[in-house]
Amino acid sequence: MSTLHRVRVDLDVRSYDVVVGRGAIRELASVIPADVKRVALVTQTSLPIDVRAELPAEVTVSRHLIGDGEQHKSLATIERLGDEFAAAGITRNDVVVGVGGGMVTDVAGFAAASWHRGMRVVHVSTTLVGMIDAAIGGKTGVNIAAGKNLVGAFWQPAGVICDTAFLDTLPEREQRCGHGEMAKYHFLTGDDLLALDLDARVARCVKIKADIVGVDERESGRRAVLNYGHTLAHALEIATEFSMAHGEAVAIGMMFAAHLAQALGRIDAARVAQHRTVIADHYRLNIKPPKGVQRVELIELMHHDKKAVDGLTFVLDGPNGIETVRNVDIAAVHQALDALSVP
């Protein structure tokens, strides 16, 4: 087993460890609270990973399956999980263990936050985007017709396991999804993450996010920078009925954000070109929206983004780095969409 990285998410009494590296799953028992009697294991039938052998021998385990696809990231799924938790005798003193990608950990975390008004949760992330983003920081939630992740809760896990061996069989599209989020950290820090090996790269992304969450747990300020590229990304996901993977949408969203920042005079053409180099050349991600999406729909969806408390709101690059910019002029938005050839 390779050397494991332990990254601390420092939130006072809610602090926890994220264990990163090949073989990290063997540390699962170490992040399960000692007083737990029952484990509600939330996962998917399509996931060929069984972690039950790594759980403490004395706990009773019930298995709860959720469907594949964003249509299962819903309040109906939360209600069904609640019924199953009741049947399994899960109490507030037990723990939910979510095993899967970001969709699974979002649902498992929200189910844990809701059951008996809050029980503990541990995440075992199996995808790159989950390891460097979704499983870290306590954001949980489900989608409704009005938008993505609009119903949820901030609910920190008791621990997170990121076994990079799970990435060996990750489909190429899921790899691209993770690379979209990983590229984001280049712009947040200026780090050359590609200079690191995979385990160190994942751990570095986790550390960047942990440091941001540690100073702004509930996204009242600094944490919003983690949504870089996400405003258009979420609109693209909804407009394509989630046929576009999250990280693919984030890659396009960051390119849009760069053009928007240039239209607003916040960055120059060289910085836009740097975005194109990192996203398209280094991570080989598409930077053009798919054919068929219409700007009228995208603008309407962006108006419903969670950050949009004062007109159109975006996280944008600028002279002070990445930051939230509110009440953005619609003319600049059209200029950025023009640059992406959105009809």
Which residues are the active-site residues? 117, 139, 181, 209, 219, 223, 227, 230, 234, 246
Q: Report which of 117, 114, 105, 92 is spatially closest to residue 33, judged by C-alpha positions.
A: 92
CA distance 224 to 204: 19
Contact 314, 260 (CB under 8 A): yes
β 38-43/95-100 pair status: parallel
**Identity at 115, one-letter amino acid code:** W
DSSP notation for 141-191:
EEEETTEEEEEEEE---SEEEE-GGGGGG--HHHHHHHHHHHHHHHHHH--
From residue 6, alpha-carbon distances to 14, 79, 161, 200, 224 in Å are: 16, 34, 10, 11, 25
* Helix pair angle (230-239, 246-263), 10° resolution: 130
Contact 10, 210 (CB under 8 A): yes
β 147-154/139-144 pair status: antiparallel
Q: What is the DSSP letter of 229?
A: T
